[in-house]
Chains A and B, each alone.
Chain A
Amino acid sequence: MSITQAFLIHLICGVGLAVGFWVAHNVYSINLVSHPSHTLRLILVVETPIVILLYSCFRQNPDNCSYLKAVVRAILGLPVGALINTFGAIALGAPVGIQYLPKTINWSLLMSLFTFVPAASVFGSSWADWHRIFAHTKPNRTVEYMICIPAHAAIIGAWFGAWPMPLDWEKPWQEWPICVSYGAMVGYLVGIVASLGLALLRGRQQHNKGD
């Protein structure tokens, strides 16, 4: 995959996020602070098909694996990744309770979309690749950079986004999962830029080596 393609994909994903926000703001006139659950669901509805359809184009072994199969395993990966993200969030102190359930579900679906779904559609059930990307953080190809860096960045962003939560500022956005979602999205966007930069750098290095 070329850098241009990567740039286009990332651009479309970023625009998808923006469109989700725009629809929430202007069509339904809600935002993340007033209706976190609804807004997250709207963003999900817009962003999920984009991510799944785009990343499925770059599946591994396209000869053995049809486009439809990649889409299906990405769709299967969505709830699984959400489950893992939920466990992580609860272990780190996310509130457990029936009134938080929809928020937690929507948030973890979004996190799954950022972290788990691209990997699921590209790698499928290839354990070695998963292990290399998520346990060792060692991406090699451009598409791996595009999966690995934004995913890690989204998690780190969400982690930092949780910091203001216990403070006594008494702002409405300190509620779970508003600031965490903001953190995750900011992290994701930063990760997109960083992954493009890193991929570019790597390409140049390899080019030099080739010379």
Chain B
Amino acid sequence: MSCTKWTLLTLAGVTLQLIGLSLFVFGFFPVKPALSGFSGPESYNAPACDDLVRNRNPNEISRPPDQLRSLYQELSGIPPLFDRLILMVVDGLPAEFVLGKDGKPPRNVFVEAMPYTQSLLASGKAIGYHAKAAPPTVTMPRLKAMVSGAIGGFLDVAFNFNTQAFLDDNLLGQLFNIGWKMVMLGDETWLKLFPGLFSRHDGVGSFFVKDTVEVDKNVSRHLGNELSRDDWNLLILHYLGLDHVGHVGGRNSVLMAPKLAEMDEIVKMIHTSTILTQENDQEHTLLMVVSDHGMTEHGNHGGSSFEETDSLALFIGLRKQVSDYASATQNTAHQVDIAPTLALLLGVPIPKNSVGVMISETFDLLKDDHQLRALELNSWQLLRLLQAQLSELTCGNIPCNGVGDTQRSGTSDCNGSIEKMLCCLYMNAAVLHSSWKSKKVSESNSWEDYSNAIAAYDKFLKTASEWLSSRATDKPVGLLAFGVAAMLLSCLILSSLVLYMCREVYLVEKLRLSHPNDMHRWLLDETFVIGVILILVISMTSSSMVEEEHYIWHFITSTLFLLLLRKTAQLLPAGIILSEEQSRNCKFQICSISVLVICGRIMRGWHQGGVNWTNLPDISKWLEQAGSDHVKTIQLVSGCLVICFGLYSLSLFESKKIIIVVVGFSFSISGLLLLLRVLKFQDYKLASSSYGATLLAQIIYAVLATTTIGSFVTLPWLMPIRISNMDSNNDINSSSPVPSDVQYKSPWLELRDSLYVIGWVYILCWCVLQLLLQQPINSLPILLLLVEIMASMLYFFFEGQRCTGWVEVS
């Protein structure tokens, strides 16, 4: 096969792979057409009249808040039911804990832990819903879904750790526009999502999962003060403790019942201090207890099982008595329904991209015409969203002056394409509504007409919402399949190329060295490595394998080293007398492998990582208990040794002394600065708080950066073209099994020299950087890692080495 053909095929394979990957990604994370902008006064008119409204009032949204509020109230025709809302988010609380499941009450432990909430439910003062959350069940997407009613894609997970401000239309923005004052206590995700919206806030971080007590105390400490003030309209409390309890001990943790009792105390406190005291009709406060997601048996979340999606929506203070316990607990809804429900209850337009349906039981307090009006508003909002996704959806002649075409009496059965069906359902509802209205004018309205209209609206809303949600989560199958097929094809091309190359290389080798035994021995290691790669690829599909991946990596690398030890032992003298040099080599190899194995074992014992065994004792915990002096000593010693080893490895390289000296000098400067920093500033708990420490760190950064970049840029040019003294290189690679790839060609040699030095510079700088950044306790593993790399370089075998290092250190 010619070289050009070869290159072309490789290029084609790689391009195909890239194309397939991008197709797959676009298919898997589809960009949905979403409506931009914010719902304004136009949402109180039928969709067909949008243009009219927009022409009439171009900038109504920028009115002063009070005017906007009264405008909304006037346009909607529904008196707002509540003017204060307390949104209590209990992170990770499964609805099952409060409401039970399948008609059965929750477990006795949980019932006893929450006496007040259960009494509210039993007396009908509260109504709870199993609010089904959409995957991914991670906090930030769920918060977005609750306030905007939209279903985000899986791409949201990627942004969860670097939360950005939420720019889509949402409930909080709408409330802010009508002049609500907001207070937020709890998870700082809210602050990142809605910067500048809160007049007072106290955020707590959610990343330290082990803390189950302080994280909630930090929320509750302001609560008494806030409840006694009346300068806010919306109070958001986000309690993270329950989620943390789940992460630490799972659903049945012993900490769960006390945590639920704590939550119950807070519900009691809020209920008795705000809702029970407002007997006059001046102001109405609604307490909503919601959870963003549930949790599995082991306390994890993120997936789409019932346990994870079973989140809670509990309305307290609706001023409506539910007759019995069953009807207060056995309700289901969707998490996205919270947004339109709250919007209508509080008298703001429903956010534009909401796919939710208002929870109609919460509106039972309203008069009949107001209830129908609320349903109508929700339908209009969904219809707008539908029109954005289905361009053919015109729904004929929706009258925009509000007076229906009463001549079209009766309803029709709806079937056919999705556009026709949705349109027909909507028309049915609109017709029934207007006929009810006209009959009401003539005072002859009947209960039957009313319930018909409600049922028709419900049907339309349910269908539209389901279609929109499925639309948000389904994937274009064709695109995905095509992407996967392209990737498979390119894999085939590339692997056949590799196979072909292997065969050629083997043929060449066979010709050159006629040692069939050698070939056989080579194959043993290689088959092991190939088998391990296959096993790892397969194990990536199982979550329990990935959870403890570092153990598997350690296990495999150690096995590999032991196999190499065996391979070296094969070379040991067995009757055949080897030359002096050969036996020295052998001993050297055995020593380096033993060093590798021992270092690997110490590193494994250093931290108990992963999920299941973090509580077991390990060396780092032991050292930390022994005191900070020991840690400091270890840090100093490992810093010194890193410098020594680094200089030694650079000095192994004999040519062009000046460059090496320069590189080594800058490296040791940064190393010494690091030691200085350790000596001077380690006593501060947070080193970044002191100015001197920061400055020193910056200097180290600068030195390291110049060293690496400088060596990378200059070394290939400064390397002399040498044709003689190639012996110096041969002793570096003397233990390599295949040194034959470089056939004494000077350009190759030169390239390899510079690559060697650059590689070392990178490794050393990485070590110093890690020593700087990692916790002090981790400094010895870095040293061990360096030793491992050196030893394996001496063995000239890089397989999987660095990966373990990374996994174990992290």
Contact = CB atoms under 8 A, between A and B. Distances in A.
Contact of B574 (A90, A92, A127, A170): A127
Contact of A168 (B548, B558, B572, B600): B548
A93 B569 contact: no
Interface in A86-102: 88, 90-93, 96-97
B575 to A, nearest CB: 5
Interface string A73-115: 0000000000000001011110011000000000000000000
Contact of A91 (B570, B597, B612): B597
A96 B602 CA distance: 11
B558 A91 contact: yes
B601 A135 contact: no
Interface in B482-520: none
Contacts of A165: 551
Contacts of A167: 544-545, 548
Interface centre among A134, A136, A168 (most CB of B within 10 A): A168
A168 B551 contact: no
Given A168-B544, A168-B612, A169-B544, A135 B572 contact: yes
A25 interface: no
Contact of A166 (B548, B566, B600): B548
Interface in B567-610: 569-570, 572, 574-575, 597-598, 600-601, 604-605, 610
B552 interface: yes
A135 B552 CA distance: 25
Interface in B235-279: none
A93 B610 contact: no
Contacts of B551: 93, 165-166
A159 interface: yes
A123 to B, nearest CB: 13
A136 B570 contact: yes
Given A93-B555, A168-B544, A168-B547, A88 B574 contact: no
B555 A162 contact: yes
A115 B641 CA distance: 40
Nearest to B549: A166
A84 B585 CA distance: 23
Q: Interface residue tally of chain A, by bracket?
A: 20 to 34
A131 interface: yes
B620 to A, nearest CB: 15
A132 interface: yes
B611 A168 contact: yes
Nearest to B298: A168
Interface string B399-433: 00000000000000000000000000000000000
Contacts of B612: 166, 168, 170
B552 A166 contact: yes
B601 A91 contact: yes
B572 A131 contact: yes
Contact of B605 (A96, A128, A131, A159): A96
Contact of B562 (A91, A162, A169, A170): A91
A135 B566 contact: yes
A92 B611 contact: no
A92 B555 contact: yes
B601 to A, nearest CB: 6
A53 B561 CA distance: 35
Nearest to A95: B616
A202 to B, nearest CB: 18
Nearest to A155: B562
A169 B597 CA distance: 28
A52 B341 CA distance: 81
Nearest to B545: A167
B301 interface: no
Interface in A154-191: 159, 162, 165-170
A168 B545 CA distance: 8
Nearest to B613: A166
Contacts of A136: 570
Nearest to A96: B605
B562 A131 contact: no
B554 interface: yes
Contacts of A91: 558, 561-562, 597-598, 600-601
A166 B556 CA distance: 13
Interface in B521-565: 544-545, 547-548, 551-552, 554-555, 558-559, 561-562
A159 B532 CA distance: 13
B604 A93 contact: yes
Nearest to A92: B558
Contacts of B566: 134-135
A130 B611 CA distance: 43
B152 to A, nearest CB: 29
Interface in B606-630: 610-612, 617
Interface string A121-161: 00000011001101110000000000000000000000100
A159 B528 CA distance: 13
A135 B555 contact: no
A166 B614 CA distance: 12
A165 B612 CA distance: 11
A38 B389 CA distance: 70
Contacts of B559: 92, 159
A29 B94 CA distance: 43
Contacts of B547: 168
A91 B597 CA distance: 6
Contact of B601 (A90, A127, A131): A90
Contacts of A90: 601
A92 B555 CA distance: 5
Contacts of B561: 91
A108 to B, nearest CB: 15
Nearest to B520: A136
B559 to A, nearest CB: 7
A131 B554 CA distance: 28
A127 B605 CA distance: 35
Nearest to B524: A137
Contact of B554 (A93, A97, A135): A93
The listed residue with most B CB atoms (<10 A of its CB), out of A96, A166, A170, is A166
Contact of A88 (B562, B569, B605): B562
Interface of B: 298, 544-545, 547-548, 551-552, 554-555, 558-559, 561-562, 566, 569-570, 572, 574-575, 597-598, 600-601, 604-605, 610-612, 617
7 interchain residue pairs of minimum CB distance: A166-B548, A166-B551, A131-B574, A135-B570, A168-B544, A167-B544, A91-B597
Given A92-B558, A168-B547, 14 more contacts: A88-B562, A91-B561, A93-B558, A96-B605, A97-B617, A128-B574, A135-B569, A135-B572, A135-B574, A162-B555, A166-B610, A167-B545, A168-B548, A168-B612
28 contacts: A90-B601, A91-B597, A91-B601, A92-B558, A93-B551, A93-B558, A93-B604, A96-B605, A127-B574, A128-B574, A128-B575, A131-B574, A134-B566, A135-B566, A135-B569, A135-B570, A135-B574, A136-B570, A159-B559, A162-B555, A166-B548, A166-B551, A167-B544, A168-B544, A168-B547, A168-B548, A168-B612, A170-B612
Interface of A: 88, 90-93, 96-97, 127-128, 131-132, 134-136, 159, 162, 165-170
